[in-house]
Amino acid sequence: MAARWGIITAGEILSALHGELIGGSREATFAGLSTDSREIIPGSLFLALEGERFDGHDFIGKAVDKGATGVVMRKGRRPDLPVEKNLVVITVSDTLKALGDLAGWWRRQHEVLVAAITGSAGKTTTKEMTASILGQSWRVLKNKGNFNNLVGLPLSLFAMEEGHQRAVLEMGMNRPGEIGRLTEIADPDVGLITNVARAHLEGVGNVMGVAKAKVELLEKMRPEGEVILNGDDDLLMKAAAPLGRKVKTYGMGPGNDITARKIRSLGRAGFSFEVNHLGKTMEIRLRTPGIQNVSNAIAASAVALCLKALPEHIVQGLGQFEGLPGRFRVRPLPGGGTLVDDTYNANPFSLRAALSSLKDLVEESGRILVGLGEMMELEDETVPAHIEAGGMVAELGAHYFVAMGEHAREMIEGALKKGFPPERADVAATHDEMAEKLGRLVRKRDLVFLKGSRRVGLEKVVERLMVKC
């Protein structure tokens, strides 16, 4: 029988965590698990995580007051435990590891085929496309939002229950070892890496460090698990080669196992193309623009095929996919003109891919207005990457360029070096200022493009433009 809350006992949890029971009964059961004392439901288990800003051990009393009947805490901590004779108290050496261990145990109690998806760009869209395909015939679990790290992925797995048949899990990272640990927890049947690029360099140093971190997926997967790689990404293929894993490849290039042919841009209406696999062809009609989404669709098709999806379900699932907020989402502006909202995140790779797709979207006689926020976690690559970003805008032939953030000046410098007219390049100090500058210039046929790293918060510019323009 699949594990479910209300049935599994403290003793079973204790075995999964390799912990020590210092209070309560081994026969006790729980209504659920939470790491947030604000979200406790009566009868649940509270696991105290230690973070940079908060320590869950400081909130054990609050969790119990709200109805928690069990606590997982670090050995050696002595929080003020309420006097409660039935309170289950389990101690472990590391509560974050315990969360992952328990989630991994939970995953293995369910007969669900699991796919894990990682990469520097495109992983969320690929996850959502894959879930759309698999959802045509199975009940599918996927992580919500950005629940893709050492806390979010385990919490996502606890939603797995009897009746789920497939799971699609996105895995992110910002330090070495994280993808490997997430792979141990998720124990995927299929693993995919979308690409390797200059992103999250803060913890890994350089792009080769990114490659090594991503291929931890291959190192930690079961030998019988199926591995899918972007065969067009030379750095990724080079990093994976020493591991000796048998892999399937996808991409635009003809040498891949799963590839796209006869790609035709339909402008803002998306793309039509063929997906070819083992001599069989699937006619795809994708409603999301951006050439990067064709690559994401091929990747999703590859994962779905490995999880036994039928070709007709791939066609239906991709045809129904409508895109994601903040990820190259095309929106009409109230007063005329069009906004391409790509504000969810940014790195040099994803920026180049997005900019390369804009000319397919702009109307005849329309102009392209670009607003960029800075890109985070690039370490020694920060300055050259921002200069390069400005150069991309100039090469695009944009009419106007406004940049925001600590490295806005470098982006403007990069544009000017590539011949961008200085009178049409500007810096904005605030979201309001960027919105005002763009809103003042935009005309009926114009295209406004916005992109920046998550912490820059350019979605605030989107909100203002949707009201003012």
Do 185 and 305 share a domain, yes or no?
yes
Q: Are 246 and 209 contacting, i.e. CB atoms less than 8 angstroms apart?
A: no
Residue 104: inside a domain:
no
pLDDT of residue 77: 86
Domain count, the chain: 3
CATH of the domain at 80: 3.40.1390.10
Q: Tokens in use for 387?
A: 């200069």
For 146, the domain range is 110-320
Residue 5: inside a domain:
no
Query: Does 248 have pLDDT greater than 60?
Result: yes
User: Smallest Cα–Cα separation from 292: which of 360, 208, 227, 365?
Assistant: 360
Residue 101: inside a domain:
no
Do 117 and 239 share a domain, yes or no?
yes
Do 274 and 252 share a domain, yes or no?
yes
Do 275 and 197 share a domain, yes or no?
yes
More confident residue, 258 or 145: 258
CATH of the domain at 441: 3.90.190.20
Packed helices 431-441 and 459-468: angle between N→C axes, nearest 10 degrees: 40
Q: What's the pLDDT tens digit per position in 175-228? A: 999 999 999 999 999 999 999 988 777 777 788 999 999 999 999 999 999 999
Alpha helices in 215-346 (DSSP H): 216-220, 234-240, 291-306, 311-320
List CB contacts of 364: < 8 A, sequence separation 6 or more: 445
H/E stretch holding 126 reads helix 123-134
| pTM, full prediction | 0.94
H/E stretch holding 211 reads helix 207-214
Residue 135: inside a domain:
yes
pLDDT mean over 159-185: 96
Q: Are 117 and 288 contacting, i.e. CB atoms less than 8 angstroms apart?
A: no
Q: What's the pLDDT tens digit per position in 360-412? A: 999 988 999 999 999 999 999 999 999 999 999 999 999 999 999 999 999 99
Do 254 and 144 share a domain, yes or no?
yes
Q: What's the pLDDT tens digit per position in 69-110? A: 999 999 988 777 766 668 999 999 999 999 999 999 999 999
Residue 264: inside a domain:
yes
pLDDT of residue 279: 87
pLDDT of residue 85: 63
- Rounded to whole angstroms, how far apart are CA atoms 116 and 97? 19
Query: Does 1 have pLDDT greater than 60?
Result: no
Handedness of CA 441, 447, 448, 452 (dihedral sign): negative
Q: What's the pLDDT tens digit per position in 13-29? A: 999 999 999 999 999 99
Bridge-based pairing state of the strands 447-451 and 338-342? parallel
User: Smallest Cα–Cα separation from 367: which of 449, 428, 422, 272?
Assistant: 449
Packed helices 123-134 and 291-306: angle between N→C axes, nearest 10 degrees: 50
Query: Does 260 have pLDDT greater than 70?
Result: yes
Please spell the DSSP secondary structure of 348-410, one letter per residue. Answer: HHHHHHHHHTGGGTSPTT--EEEEEE---S-GGGHHHHHHHHHHHHHHHT-SEEEEESTTHHH
Q: What's the pLDDT tens digit per position in 141-157? A: 999 878 999 999 999 99
Do 151 and 232 share a domain, yes or no?
yes
3-state secondary structure of 124: helix
pLDDT of residue 202: 73
State percent of the chain over pLDDT 90: 88
Q: Are 300 and 130 contacting, i.e. CB atoms less than 8 angstroms apart?
A: yes
